[in-house]
């Protein structure tokens, strides 16, 4: 029997690295797990969480905690559906792997073999990029997420915009995470299969694995976890559900802990499930093989990380570790496997910005592997603090740019108009009662004057689109001719040419 005292001791216990863990059997670990899950949720302010633990070819734990929406009374279960963001990427990699296994696709043939019109701004990358390059995030193309976010473009239309997007690195030079290349892979899978990406995944992955609650359209039924984020006032609030659309192969999956546990069972069985083989072991293991190294070093427990095909690959305390997290508007999700230890974990939550996923999953791994205990609550609290300090410093830098005594060079009405970029589309500026207002891909917010012709575009809290600077180019004779903004860290400013009105003050 696990008493409250036992639980308290387990949750706060910190053992020095190298000291052997207490001999705790699997049954007791599974008994303690719900108590830790409850504590983690309270600590990180998570309304609802769903967890599954896979051991060999079975699910040894699955359950839900908390509620599907803040202030509600509908309880989360292991069948509750969440948005899982980039946890979609291992599924997309498997869809490509299935076609490789059939000889219809090849990891190292050029993408143009199947998509002759595939083009990027970098000519060499256009001609030589392969499915392996796209899935391993090594094309050199940076994220450019605001090209697709809220744009409404179809997948084919999105691919047509790729030649207008600037590169950061040469092909295969280094890891550069991008959702856009997964949209291309999804389109490629559909073309090669003679259907669509969504249809192929449904018939070739979800149906054989019995993933009946998984799909790419946000469920409207009761029992679905609703997304939450912290608003401008610092309060947790429910926000609209994310629709992946053109980038569904990168981040559009909705699924449950029980469904994803089935997917992990297949991974741990090297491509087999319930006695049937979905794909060959060699092809499945290729997705778990490092393709490109990440340049930053991690903590001693995970010092080096690579990326495979749809998976981050690390060595966790001496054990091969494949994993992927996913964040999209109001959701934060995680799957991870230790392939040589026959162990997998799923953690799904319905809020952004927390460390609950790593706290819980690493505690589970440590316990099942019999490793020395680490106080992950404390360790990851420190990581969270550092991240928030970086965010705060960025906000301070934005504030430091402000010079209220340096007014705009033109009357506010002169900035009003429609601005366009060939890839990013339309930015509209209008004049409201309280000043300038901007609209971009369905995101609306005030343009607050910073200094001169610089303004701050304030947006609702979003995983992809934080507030950002917008500057205007002013010709002394012609007037305002363009708007520009970095839109994303480390990108060169994106220029939007003014198309309406065509004369100053019109």
Find, among 261, 181, 186, the residue nearest to 216 by Cα.
186
pLDDT for 443: 86
- Quick check: helix, strand or coil at residue 220? coil
The better pLDDT of the pair 368, 397 is held by 368
- Alpha helix ranges (H) inside 376-453: 376-401
Torsion of CA 364, 252, 229, 50, to 10 degrees: -30
Residues with Cβ within 8 Å of residue 78, at least 6 apart in sequence = 50, 51, 52, 62, 63, 64, 256, 257, 258
Residue 479 structure tokens: 């007037």
> How sure is the predictor about 176, in pLDDT bands with cuts at 50, 70 and 90?
very high
Distance between CA atoms of 121 and 166, rounded to whole angstroms? 6
pLDDT for 26: 87
Residues with Cβ within 8 Å of residue 387, at least 6 apart in sequence = none
pLDDT for 7: 39
pLDDT for 385: 58
Residue 277: pLDDT over 90:
yes
Find, among 468, 436, 470, 476, the residue nearest to 453 by Cα.
470
Q: Which of 262-276, 326-340, 370-384, 448-462 has the lowest mean pLDDT?
A: 370-384
Q: Residue ranges per domain, the chain? A: 46-353, 412-500
Residue 373: pLDDT over 90:
no
Beta carbons of 182 and 92 less than 8 angstroms apart: yes
pLDDT for 399: 58
> How sure is the predictor about 379, in pLDDT bands with cuts at 50, 70 and 90?
confident
Continuous segment of H or E residues that includes residue 471: strand 468-475
Find, among 236, 277, 271, 224, the residue nearest to 81 by Cα.
224
CATH class of 46-353: alpha beta
pLDDT average, residue stretch 166-171: 93
Placement of tokens 């949209």 in the chain: 183
Residue 97: pLDDT over 90:
yes
- Alpha helix ranges (H) inside 81-122: 88-101
What letter would DSSP give residue 505? T
Torsion of CA 154, 160, 166, 172, to 10 degrees: 90
Residue 506 structure tokens: 């019109």
Residue 400: pLDDT over 60:
no
Same fold flag, 46-353 and 412-500: no
> How sure is the predictor about 401, in pLDDT bands with cuts at 50, 70 and 90?
low
* 28-86 residue pLDDT tens: 999 999 999 999 999 999 999 999 999 988 999 999 999 999 999 999 999 999 999 99
**CATH code for the part of the protein at 412-500:** 2.40.128.50
- Alpha helix ranges (H) inside 150-179: 155-160
Distance between CA atoms of 97 and 103, rounded to whole angstroms? 10
Nearest-Å Rg of the Cα atoms of the chain is 24
């Amino acid at each position: 029997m696990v008493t409250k005292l036992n639980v308290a001791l387990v949750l706060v216990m910190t053992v020095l690295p190298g000291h052997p863990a207490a001999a705790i059997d699997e049954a007791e670990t599974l008994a303690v797990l719900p108590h830790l899950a409850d504590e983690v949720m309270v600590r990180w302010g998570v309304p609802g969480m769903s967890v599954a633990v896979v051991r060999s070819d079975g699910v040894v734990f699955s359950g839900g905690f908390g509620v599907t929406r803040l202030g509600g009374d509908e309880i989360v279960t292991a069948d509750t559906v969440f948005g899982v963001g980039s946890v979609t990427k291992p599924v997309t990699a498997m869809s490509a792997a299935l076609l490789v296994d059939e000889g219809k696709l090849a990891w190292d043939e050029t993408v143009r073999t199947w998509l002759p019109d595939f083009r990027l701004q970098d000519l060499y990358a256009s001609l030589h990029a392969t499915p392996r390059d796209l899935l391993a995030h090594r094309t050199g193309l940076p994220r450019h997420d605001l090209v697709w976010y809220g744009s409404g473009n179809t997948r084919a239309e999105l691919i047509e915009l790729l030649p207008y997007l600037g590169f950061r690195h040469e092909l295969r030079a280094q890891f550069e995470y991008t959702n856009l290349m997964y949209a291309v892979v999804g389109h490629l899978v559909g073309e090669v299969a003679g259907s669509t990406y969504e249809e192929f995944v449904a018939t070739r992955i979800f149906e054989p694995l019995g993933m009946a609650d998984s799909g790419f359209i946000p469920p409207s039924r009761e029992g679905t976890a609703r997304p939450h984020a912290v608003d401008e006032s610092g309060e947790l609030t429910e926000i609209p559900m994310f629709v992946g659309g053109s980038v569904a192969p990168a981040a559009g999956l909705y699924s449950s802990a029980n469904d994803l546990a089935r997917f992990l069972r297949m991974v741990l069985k090297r491509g087999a499930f319930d006695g049937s083989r979905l794909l060959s072991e060699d092809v499945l293991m290729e997705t778990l093989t490092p393709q490109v190294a990440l340049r930053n070093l991690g903590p001693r427990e995970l010092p080096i990380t690579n990326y495979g095909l749809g998976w981050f690959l690390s060595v966790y305390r001496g054990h091969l570790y494949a994993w992927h997290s996913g964040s999209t508007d109001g959701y934060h999700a995680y799957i991870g496997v230790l392939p040589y230890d026959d162990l997998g974990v799923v953690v799904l939550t319905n809020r952004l910005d927390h460390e609950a996923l790593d706290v819980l999953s690493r505690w589970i791994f440590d316990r099942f592997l019999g490793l020395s205990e680490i106080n992950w609550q404390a360790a990851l609290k420190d990581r969270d603090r550092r991240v928030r300090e970086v965010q705060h410093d960025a906000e301070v830098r934005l504030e430091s740019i402000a010079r209220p005594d340096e007014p705009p060079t033109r009357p506010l009405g002169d900035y009003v108009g429609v601005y366009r970029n060939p890839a990013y589309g339309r930015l509209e500026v209008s004049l409201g009662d309280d000043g300038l207002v901007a609209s971009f891909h369905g995101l609306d917010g005030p343009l607050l004057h910073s200094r001169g012709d610089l303004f701050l575009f304030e947006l609702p809290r979003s995983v992809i689109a934080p507030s950002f600077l917008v500057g205007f180019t002013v010709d002394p004779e012609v007037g305002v001719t363009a708007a520009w903004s970095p839109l994303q860290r480390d990108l060169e400013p994106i220029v939007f040419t003014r198309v309406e009105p065509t004369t100053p003050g019109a």
